[in-house]
Amino acid sequence: MKLLRYGPPGQEKPGLLDAEGRIRDLSAHIPDIAGDALTPAGLARIAALDLDGLPIVSGQPRLGACVGHVPKFVAIGLNYADHAAEAGLPVPTEPVVFSKWTSCIIGPDDDVVIPPGAQKTDWEVELGVVIGQRASQLAEAAALDHVAGYCVVNDISEREWQAERGGTWDKGKGFDTFGPIGPWLVTRDEIPDPQALDLWLELDGRRCQEGSTRTMIFGVAEIVAYCSRLMTLLPGDVITTGTPPGVGMGQKPPVFLRGGEVMRLGITGLGEQRQRVRRSD
């Protein structure tokens, strides 16, 4: 299934994308694509609905983030060796874990806003993993059983705040609008191998990033199991799993977002995002 949320910011309704690309309204059956709806039992109830009986949503409504009420937005850094190389950093021997504040989450086609005074705002196409079952101290062999599905994430990053202002990476990762998620949550049954997905990102029509989850240093199962040893994972938690090479700081000379650009990005089977960049100052 391809699950989504549509409507104005803060008023999103749950929906499902049918085989013809039409949005079907789920709001008579579940309150949101969140919490219990993402558990195995919740997804089974949605899958059992009569699809043809669900109302068709007319027009082209705005899409919100494909997961609502996200408890935690966890991120993995430097998870592609060639991206670590372009960043001038050693390949990690354990996953690099940081947080993105949930207040940064926006829809897949909403504007990305450069924060006041920022000069090094960057892009990162990533595979997002949505947790579907409460989990702690998981074995790697059981990790994927606790995944509800997958989505596209653009891990927008302000590099000066990330690397030059002291402290942790979190400073540069959670500004408002720095977490576009969606367009859809594609359930795990439709993605048999999360390590066989192609990722790409274009800036103003120029292909900047192109990679594959095959080249991850730490695969999805290992990441989920590792995170479950650091924290209790909850239904609706989002883990974004790192980016392939081609980010702005890796260009020679570096290229950062200034405002006015359009980013377009996607992952095999998970849909595409499109964001216009604007400045707040």
Domain ranges of the chain: 2-53, 73-279
pLDDT for residue 90: 85
- Which residues fall within 8 angstroms of residue 17, CB to CB, at 6 or more apart? 2, 3, 4, 23, 24, 184
> Does residue 99 sit in helix, strand or coil?
strand
Rounded to two decimals, the pTM is 0.96
Using the structure block, give the residue that is written with the tokens 């191998």.
193
Contact 138, 225 (CB under 8 A): yes
Contact 96, 62 (CB under 8 A): no
- The parts of the chain modelled with pLDDT lower than 50 are none
Best CA proximity match to 10, nearest among 64, 57, 66, 72: 64
Contact 174, 104 (CB under 8 A): yes
- Which residues fall within 8 angstroms of residue 173, CB to CB, at 6 or more apart? 75, 98, 99, 100, 101, 104, 155, 156, 157, 158, 162
CA pair distance 265, 249, nearest whole angstrom: 18
The torsion of the CA quartet 186, 187, 191, 195, rounded to 10 degrees, works out to: 80
**Cα dist from 7 to 14, 59, 102, 106, 123, whole Å:** 9, 11, 19, 12, 25
pLDDT for residue 186: 98
Torsion sign over Cα 136, 214, 110, 99? positive
> Does residue 195 sit in helix, strand or coil?
coil
pLDDT for residue 89: 79
For domain 73-279, the CATH architecture is Alpha-Beta Complex (3.90)
